[in-house]
Structure formats: structure tokens, C-alpha cells
Amino acid sequence: MKHVLHVVGARPNFVKAAPVLLAVREKGWRQTLVHTGQHYDRNMSDVFFTQLEIPQPDFNLGVGSGSHASQTAEVMRRFEPVVLEQKPDIVLVYGDVNSTVAAALVCSKLLIPVAHVEAGLRSFDRTMPEEINRIVTDRLSDLLLTPSADGDMNLQREGVSPDKIHRVGNVMIDSLVRLLPLARKCPKNGFPEKFALVTLHRPSNVDSRENLQRVMSSLVEVSEQLAVVFPVHPRTRQRLHEFGIGFDALHFVDPMPYIDFLALQSRSTVVITDSGGIQEETTYLGIPCLTLRNNTERPITVEMGTNVLVGEDKARLDLELENVLSGRSKRGVVPPLWDGCTGTRIVDALSDFLAGH
Ligand code: UD1
């Protein structure tokens, strides 16, 4: 029987791994789940496991927070004995976080095959730590599972052999498709009828006082036209506290469980974000998304979806908001292979790969 080992560590990747865990279970293979502990707060981790019905991890490495080097090194140090003992046929890593690159590095040196779910995405901006993680992980992976054609093209341009690349679609959308009916039943919980939903956690927006102050002032202006609901990531909360920034005009709430956040997204008038995954979820939902970044590793959300990159341009934010409020927001379509069946296609690709090994 084949043995697949999954490595997850941070919030977005719980959402990506859930459909693959389900599909592997249906296939009847043995599977082992390792949680690195990069995210450890109850509402950044445990509630996701519960709502997405992810089994309890077989191993929790408990690495916690730290600098990039120390967090990555700690995952490597603690993961190596686990993978040596488990001897899986293949290790699945997800997305672009520090836990992803750390696990890929360990496996490639132990000659254990690595499959990268969400391969090939590029922002072409190496000031983003995630971009470094994407490049290194893809370079080391044996099986590159891409969400869209741009991913295939990026990899081929970097010289990856086409037989390693499998376009499987967007696995995050599998979770959305599965749980949207439940989200639609969530009570409104006193949130306003019309609102802008905001999320913010990129180092480029929140780690400098000046940038965070600038973004927050823009949001206060937004709130003069439309209520702003802002579930605050722990990193952002820490910075707001450190810099002494606080604004009563915004509804700050704690990070939300997956289904509750999906309910809010689907009911929002507009989403303002610097997240990667939320650019995709809004495209699927047809909700206008204004992204506070100058680039995106998910260009299909701009080309086909509802996403607009407003970067740091305050005038552009005002203009796009005006478009939304006057009913002239960008319309989009759902990209191909964003259909809720990516988990199954991933298992098919794994099956072909393992048959040849
Ligand atoms: C990480 C990922 C980012 C992803 C994001 C989703 C990397 C390089 N970045 O960023 O790609 O979009 O997760 O959230 O891997 N903290 C807590 N509790 C937690 C987790 C974090 O308080 O459960 C605080 C810690 O003080 C920590 C800070 O948040 O230092 C940042 O956490 P970290 O995992 O380093 O990166 P994220 O900003 O969450």
C-alpha cells in the first residue's frame, strides 16, 4: 500500500491540504499528517482542523514563531527524524510558507520524492519571503502540481521538464465548494448589511510604521463610505500595538474560523486585502477584490477574475471603491479547473508518479 506524508504548518495550507487528505483516504492509501506548528493559536490552527474535518496530526513539531532562518531551521531539524522513521513513498508540501520550503529541503537530501501542491506561482518579487520559498520548493520538487496555465509556463521558462508538471487546478477552491453551502447558513452575527472586508498581514504593508499608518488612514477614509470589518492577523495586531495605532472607526475582530470568514466574504460588498488565497476566493465568489500589492503571483485572478491590484496608490483605491459603490465593479469568470475536483486530480497524478517509481 502506498504511503503519503503531508506537511502543513500555516493557516492557508490547512485549507489546501483538507481536500487532498479526503481524496487520499478515498483511495485507501496510508497517510501521515505532520503539523509543523508554524501557526499555533487556536483560531489560526485548531478551528481550521475542526471545520475542515482534518484528522488530528500524527506529529506536531511545535516549532512556533521566530526569524525566517530559525523557523525554517527548526522545522528541518524536527522534521528529519519523523520522515526517516516514517519512510513515506512521497511527501506532499503545500503553498509557499517557511514550513513548505523546510520540508522540501529535508526530503530532497534524503532522496524522498516531493510533490508540491500549488507549484509554479511567481510574483517576480524577491522581496517577498514567499517568492524565495516558491522558487526553492519548485526547484527541489519531483512532481509539480500547478493551479493554472501561468504556473506551467513559469516552470517551463525556468527549465523544468514538462513531464514533472501536472496542471490539476486550484485545490483551495475544493474546500470552498464543499463548505460554501454551510457558510451560506451562518447567522449574520450583527455584521452590517453592506461592508468592506479587510485582511492585512504582508510584511511590506504591516512591518513598517509608515506603511501601516498609511494603509490604516486609507481604511479610515473607506469607513466614511462603507463599514469596514477587519479580522486582524496576529502579526498585524502586534504591529498595531507596537506602533500605537488604533482606529475606532473600524470593526476589528479576531482572526476567524474558515466557514465564518467564507460567510463574511460571500456577503461583503468588496474585499480589500493583501492575501494570496483571498484573491482567488473572491474571484470564485464574484466579489470585487482590491489588492493592496503591486504584484500578484496569481495573475489569473486579475486576467479572468474580479481582482484589481491597487498597490499603494490611494487615488486608485478611491477610484475602484467608487466603481464598486456605483455598481461598476469589475466582473469576472471562474477560471478553468476551479471546480472542486482538484483533490482527486492530485491523487491521480500521485498514482501515476508512484506507479513509475
Ligand atoms: C505566514 C506565511 C505567509 C502566509 C501567512 C498566513 C511565511 C514566510 N509566511 O505568514 O505566506 O500568507 O502565514 O497567515 O511562511 N503568530 C501568532 N500566532 C500564530 C501564528 C503567528 O501570534 O498562530 C504571530 C507571531 O508573533 C509571529 C507572527 O505572527 O511571529 C508571524 O507569523 P509567521 O508564521 O512567522 O508568519 P505569517 O505572517 O503568519
**Model pLDDT for residues 240-271, shown as the tens digit of each residue:** 999 999 878 899 999 999 999 999 999 999 99
- The Cα–Cα gap between 277 and 297 comes to 10
Ligand 1 geometric centre to CA of 39 (Å):
6
Residue whose CA lies nearest to ligand 1 atom number 13? 10
Q: What is the mean pLDDT of the chain?
A: 97
Ligand 1 geometric centre to CA of 129 (Å):
12
Residue whose CA lies nearest to ligand 1 atom number 15? 97
Measured from CB, residues less than 6 Å from any atom of ligand 1 are: 10-12, 38-41, 44, 65, 96-98, 129-130, 201, 233-235, 238
Torsion angles phi and psi, residue 253, rounded to 5 = -135, 165
Contact (Cβ atoms closer than 8 angstroms) between residue 258 and residue 175: yes
Ligand 1 geometric centre to CA of 235 (Å):
6
Q: Which three cell numbers stand for residue 218?
A: 486609507
Task: Return the closest-CA partner of residue 22 out of 59, 53, 58, 60.
Answer: 53
Nearest ligand 1 atom, CA 41: 23
Per the residue annotation, which of 116, 166, 201, 233 is the catalytic one?
201
Nearest ligand 1 atom, CA 39: 23
Packing angle between helix 11-27 and helix 342-355, nearest 10 degrees?
A: 60
Low-confidence ranges of the chain (pLDDT < 50): none
Q: What is the pTM of this model?
A: 0.97
pLDDT at 88: 98
- In 10 A of CB 81, how many CB atoms? 11
Nearest ligand 1 atom, CA 98: 15
Ligand 1 geometric centre to CA of 182 (Å):
27
- Long-range contacts formed by 60-65: CB under 8 A, 24+ apart: 60/34, 60/35, 61/34, 61/35, 61/36, 61/37, 62/37, 63/9, 63/36, 63/37, 63/38, 63/99, 64/37, 64/38, 64/40, 65/38
Ligand 1 geometric centre to CA of 244 (Å):
21
Residue whose CA lies nearest to ligand 1 atom number 27? 65
Torsion angles phi and psi, residue 29, rounded to 5 = -80, 160
Ligand 1 geometric centre to CA of 80 (Å):
22
Active site residue 201: yes
Best mutation site among 48, 63, 123, 235 for ligand 1 pocket (most ligand atoms within 8 Å of CB): 235
Radius of gyration of the chain (CA): 20
pLDDT at 248: 84
Q: What angle do CA 153, 294, 40 make, to 5 degrees?
A: 85
Task: Look up cell 526530503; give the residue.
Answer: 107
What does each C-alpha distance from 135 to 104, 131, 170 come to in angstroms?
11, 6, 19
- In 10 A of CB 85, how many CB atoms? 8
Task: Return the closest-CA partner of residue 110 out of 136, 138, 85, 145.
Answer: 85
Contact (Cβ atoms closer than 8 angstroms) between residue 184 and residue 353: no
What does each C-alpha distance from 5 to 54, 93, 164 come to in angstroms?
14, 9, 19
Nearest ligand 1 atom, CA 95: 11
